[in-house]
Amino acid sequence: MIKDWYTDDNYSHGFLVPLIAGYFLFERREELKKTLVLPWAPGLFLIIAGIIQLTIGWLATEYFTMRSSLVVIIAGMVLYFFGKGVFKKALLPVLYLILMVPIPYIIYDAIAFPLKLFVTKVSVVFLKTIGIVVLREGNIIMFPATTLEVADACSGIRSLLSLIALAVAYAFIINVSPLKRWIIILSAIPIAVLTNAIRVIGTGILAQYLGARAAEGFFHEFAGLAVFAIAMVMLMGFGVVVKKWK
Protein backbone atom coordinates (compact mmCIF):
# COMPACT_ATOMS: atom_id res chain seq x y z
CA MET A 1 0.00 0.00 0.00
CA ILE A 2 2.81 2.40 0.88
CA LYS A 3 4.34 1.76 -2.54
CA ASP A 4 1.01 2.69 -4.18
CA TRP A 5 0.76 5.86 -2.08
CA TYR A 6 4.24 6.83 -3.26
CA THR A 7 3.90 5.93 -6.95
CA ASP A 8 0.22 6.65 -7.66
CA ASP A 9 -0.83 10.29 -7.24
CA ASN A 10 -4.46 9.19 -6.88
CA TYR A 11 -3.66 7.74 -3.46
CA SER A 12 -0.88 9.98 -2.13
CA HIS A 13 -3.30 11.10 0.61
CA GLY A 14 -2.82 7.61 2.09
CA PHE A 15 0.25 8.88 3.96
CA LEU A 16 -1.95 11.35 5.87
CA VAL A 17 -4.78 8.97 6.81
CA PRO A 18 -2.97 7.04 9.61
CA LEU A 19 -1.69 10.36 11.02
CA ILE A 20 -5.19 11.84 11.06
CA ALA A 21 -6.56 8.64 12.62
CA GLY A 22 -3.85 8.94 15.27
CA TYR A 23 -4.92 12.55 15.89
CA PHE A 24 -8.53 11.45 16.40
CA LEU A 25 -7.32 8.86 18.91
CA PHE A 26 -5.15 11.44 20.67
CA GLU A 27 -8.15 13.80 20.94
CA ARG A 28 -10.02 11.06 22.81
CA ARG A 29 -7.18 10.28 25.21
CA GLU A 30 -8.95 11.66 28.31
CA GLU A 31 -12.12 9.70 27.54
CA LEU A 32 -10.06 6.56 26.91
CA LYS A 33 -8.26 6.95 30.28
CA LYS A 34 -11.64 6.95 32.03
CA THR A 35 -12.98 3.96 30.08
CA LEU A 36 -12.87 0.62 31.87
CA VAL A 37 -10.81 -2.00 30.00
CA LEU A 38 -12.82 -5.22 29.82
CA PRO A 39 -11.42 -7.62 27.19
CA TRP A 40 -14.26 -9.00 25.07
CA ALA A 41 -13.67 -12.58 23.91
CA PRO A 42 -16.10 -12.47 20.92
CA GLY A 43 -13.73 -9.87 19.38
CA LEU A 44 -11.58 -12.87 18.47
CA PHE A 45 -14.18 -13.83 15.84
CA LEU A 46 -13.68 -10.45 14.14
CA ILE A 47 -9.91 -11.06 14.10
CA ILE A 48 -10.50 -14.48 12.54
CA ALA A 49 -12.90 -12.93 10.00
CA GLY A 50 -10.19 -10.44 9.04
CA ILE A 51 -7.64 -13.25 8.59
CA ILE A 52 -10.13 -15.19 6.43
CA GLN A 53 -10.74 -12.01 4.39
CA LEU A 54 -6.98 -11.61 3.93
CA THR A 55 -6.64 -15.23 2.83
CA ILE A 56 -9.51 -14.98 0.34
CA GLY A 57 -8.10 -11.75 -1.07
CA TRP A 58 -4.64 -13.32 -1.38
CA LEU A 59 -6.02 -16.40 -3.16
CA ALA A 60 -8.03 -14.20 -5.54
CA THR A 61 -5.19 -11.64 -5.91
CA GLU A 62 -7.68 -8.92 -4.99
CA TYR A 63 -5.75 -6.14 -3.31
CA PHE A 64 -8.64 -4.17 -1.83
CA THR A 65 -9.92 -7.25 0.01
CA MET A 66 -6.44 -8.02 1.32
CA ARG A 67 -5.62 -4.48 2.37
CA SER A 68 -8.98 -3.66 3.97
CA SER A 69 -8.62 -6.82 6.09
CA LEU A 70 -6.01 -4.87 8.09
CA VAL A 71 -8.75 -2.51 9.32
CA VAL A 72 -11.00 -5.46 10.23
CA ILE A 73 -8.19 -7.12 12.19
CA ILE A 74 -7.33 -3.88 14.02
CA ALA A 75 -11.01 -3.47 14.97
CA GLY A 76 -11.10 -7.05 16.22
CA MET A 77 -7.92 -6.56 18.27
CA VAL A 78 -9.35 -3.46 19.96
CA LEU A 79 -12.50 -5.39 20.87
CA TYR A 80 -10.64 -8.50 22.01
CA PHE A 81 -7.95 -6.81 24.11
CA PHE A 82 -9.73 -3.67 25.36
CA GLY A 83 -13.47 -4.33 25.20
CA LYS A 84 -16.58 -2.68 23.82
CA GLY A 85 -16.22 0.55 25.82
CA VAL A 86 -12.81 1.36 24.36
CA PHE A 87 -13.96 0.18 20.92
CA LYS A 88 -16.79 2.73 20.87
CA LYS A 89 -14.33 5.51 21.69
CA ALA A 90 -11.85 4.29 19.05
CA LEU A 91 -14.44 3.54 16.37
CA LEU A 92 -13.90 6.73 14.35
CA PRO A 93 -10.08 6.43 14.19
CA VAL A 94 -10.34 2.76 13.23
CA LEU A 95 -12.99 3.28 10.53
CA TYR A 96 -11.12 6.29 9.15
CA LEU A 97 -8.26 3.97 8.23
CA ILE A 98 -10.37 2.49 5.42
CA LEU A 99 -9.76 5.71 3.48
CA MET A 100 -6.06 4.81 3.15
CA VAL A 101 -6.92 1.70 1.11
CA PRO A 102 -6.87 2.27 -2.69
CA ILE A 103 -10.29 1.49 -4.16
CA PRO A 104 -10.63 -1.37 -6.70
CA TYR A 105 -9.84 -0.20 -10.24
CA ILE A 106 -13.18 -1.47 -11.49
CA ILE A 107 -14.83 1.10 -9.19
CA TYR A 108 -12.18 3.71 -10.01
CA ASP A 109 -12.86 3.39 -13.76
CA ALA A 110 -16.63 3.40 -13.21
CA ILE A 111 -16.29 6.78 -11.47
CA ALA A 112 -13.49 8.32 -13.53
CA PHE A 113 -14.99 7.79 -17.00
CA PRO A 114 -18.35 9.54 -16.41
CA LEU A 115 -16.50 12.31 -14.56
CA LYS A 116 -14.18 12.84 -17.54
CA LEU A 117 -17.15 13.15 -19.89
CA PHE A 118 -19.02 15.51 -17.57
CA VAL A 119 -16.01 17.80 -17.00
CA THR A 120 -15.35 17.82 -20.75
CA LYS A 121 -18.96 18.78 -21.54
CA VAL A 122 -19.04 21.58 -18.96
CA SER A 123 -15.67 22.93 -20.13
CA VAL A 124 -16.67 22.92 -23.80
CA VAL A 125 -19.95 24.71 -23.05
CA PHE A 126 -18.07 27.43 -21.16
CA LEU A 127 -15.38 27.78 -23.84
CA LYS A 128 -18.06 28.19 -26.51
CA THR A 129 -19.85 30.75 -24.35
CA ILE A 130 -16.75 32.97 -24.24
CA GLY A 131 -16.36 32.73 -28.01
CA ILE A 132 -13.70 30.04 -28.46
CA VAL A 133 -14.25 27.73 -31.43
CA VAL A 134 -14.11 24.20 -30.09
CA LEU A 135 -15.53 20.73 -30.77
CA ARG A 136 -15.89 17.75 -28.45
CA GLU A 137 -15.53 14.06 -29.19
CA GLY A 138 -15.97 12.06 -25.99
CA ASN A 139 -13.27 13.34 -23.64
CA ILE A 140 -11.30 14.95 -26.51
CA ILE A 141 -11.48 18.73 -26.94
CA MET A 142 -10.56 19.92 -30.44
CA PHE A 143 -9.40 23.47 -31.16
CA PRO A 144 -8.57 24.86 -34.62
CA ALA A 145 -4.82 24.55 -33.97
CA THR A 146 -4.54 21.75 -31.38
CA THR A 147 -6.31 18.92 -29.58
CA LEU A 148 -6.50 18.24 -25.84
CA GLU A 149 -7.50 15.09 -23.99
CA VAL A 150 -9.21 15.26 -20.62
CA ALA A 151 -7.36 12.49 -18.78
CA ASP A 152 -8.17 10.88 -15.43
CA ALA A 153 -6.07 13.49 -13.62
CA CYS A 154 -8.31 16.26 -14.98
CA SER A 155 -11.58 14.41 -14.39
CA GLY A 156 -11.67 15.24 -10.69
CA ILE A 157 -11.30 11.65 -9.49
CA ARG A 158 -7.84 12.33 -8.04
CA SER A 159 -9.01 15.43 -6.21
CA LEU A 160 -12.20 13.66 -5.17
CA LEU A 161 -10.44 10.75 -3.44
CA SER A 162 -8.12 13.04 -1.50
CA LEU A 163 -10.77 15.65 -0.81
CA ILE A 164 -13.23 13.12 0.64
CA ALA A 165 -10.55 11.83 3.03
CA LEU A 166 -9.82 15.38 4.15
CA ALA A 167 -13.51 16.35 4.22
CA VAL A 168 -14.28 13.50 6.64
CA ALA A 169 -11.47 14.64 8.92
CA TYR A 170 -12.52 18.29 8.65
CA ALA A 171 -16.19 17.51 9.33
CA PHE A 172 -15.29 15.81 12.62
CA ILE A 173 -12.61 18.29 13.66
CA ILE A 174 -14.95 21.31 13.50
CA ASN A 175 -17.46 19.44 15.70
CA VAL A 176 -20.83 19.83 13.98
CA SER A 177 -24.03 17.74 14.00
CA PRO A 178 -24.14 14.44 12.05
CA LEU A 179 -26.34 16.01 9.34
CA LYS A 180 -23.91 18.90 8.84
CA ARG A 181 -21.02 16.43 8.75
CA TRP A 182 -22.64 14.58 5.86
CA ILE A 183 -23.33 17.86 4.06
CA ILE A 184 -19.65 18.86 4.36
CA ILE A 185 -18.41 15.42 3.29
CA LEU A 186 -20.74 15.25 0.27
CA SER A 187 -19.78 18.80 -0.74
CA ALA A 188 -16.37 17.38 -1.71
CA ILE A 189 -17.98 15.87 -4.83
CA PRO A 190 -19.23 19.07 -6.54
CA ILE A 191 -16.16 21.01 -5.31
CA ALA A 192 -13.78 18.48 -6.90
CA VAL A 193 -15.73 18.48 -10.18
CA LEU A 194 -16.04 22.27 -10.31
CA THR A 195 -12.37 22.99 -9.61
CA ASN A 196 -11.20 20.46 -12.18
CA ALA A 197 -13.56 21.94 -14.76
CA ILE A 198 -11.87 25.29 -14.06
CA ARG A 199 -8.51 23.57 -14.63
CA VAL A 200 -9.62 22.20 -18.01
CA ILE A 201 -11.10 25.56 -19.04
CA GLY A 202 -7.86 27.35 -18.13
CA THR A 203 -5.84 24.78 -20.05
CA GLY A 204 -8.15 25.19 -23.05
CA ILE A 205 -7.81 28.98 -23.07
CA LEU A 206 -3.99 28.73 -22.93
CA ALA A 207 -3.97 26.12 -25.69
CA GLN A 208 -6.16 28.32 -27.89
CA TYR A 209 -4.18 31.52 -27.58
CA LEU A 210 -0.65 30.38 -26.72
CA GLY A 211 -0.49 26.90 -28.24
CA ALA A 212 -0.50 23.38 -26.83
CA ARG A 213 2.97 23.70 -25.25
CA ALA A 214 1.74 26.50 -22.98
CA ALA A 215 -0.81 24.10 -21.50
CA GLU A 216 1.68 21.32 -20.82
CA GLY A 217 4.70 20.74 -18.62
CA PHE A 218 5.08 23.10 -15.68
CA PHE A 219 1.66 24.70 -16.08
CA HIS A 220 -0.10 21.34 -16.09
CA GLU A 221 1.63 20.26 -12.87
CA PHE A 222 1.19 23.66 -11.22
CA ALA A 223 -2.49 23.77 -12.23
CA GLY A 224 -3.08 20.44 -10.49
CA LEU A 225 -1.63 21.74 -7.22
CA ALA A 226 -3.41 25.08 -7.54
CA VAL A 227 -6.76 23.42 -8.24
CA PHE A 228 -6.45 21.21 -5.15
CA ALA A 229 -5.49 24.22 -3.01
CA ILE A 230 -8.57 26.07 -4.31
CA ALA A 231 -10.71 23.01 -3.58
CA MET A 232 -9.40 22.92 0.01
CA VAL A 233 -10.16 26.61 0.52
CA MET A 234 -13.68 26.10 -0.87
CA LEU A 235 -14.24 23.07 1.37
CA MET A 236 -13.11 24.92 4.49
CA GLY A 237 -15.13 28.00 3.57
CA PHE A 238 -18.21 25.88 3.00
CA GLY A 239 -17.63 24.14 6.34
CA VAL A 240 -17.56 27.50 8.13
CA VAL A 241 -20.85 28.45 6.47
CA VAL A 242 -22.47 25.11 7.32
CA LYS A 243 -21.33 25.35 10.95
CA LYS A 244 -23.13 28.70 11.30
CA TRP A 245 -26.42 27.31 9.94
CA LYS A 246 -29.17 27.04 12.52
| pLDDT score of 215 | 60
Crossing angle between the packed helical segments 84-96 and 16-27, to the nearest 10 degrees: 150
More confident residue, 152 or 204: 204
Mean pLDDT of the chain: 87
Quote the Cα angle for 25-159-130, to 5°. Answer: 150
φ, ψ at 140 (rounded to 5°): -105, 130
Q: Is the pLDDT of residue 143 over 90?
A: no
| pLDDT score of 45 | 96
* Domain spans, the chain: 2-100, 105-244
Q: Is the pLDDT of residue 155 over 70?
A: no
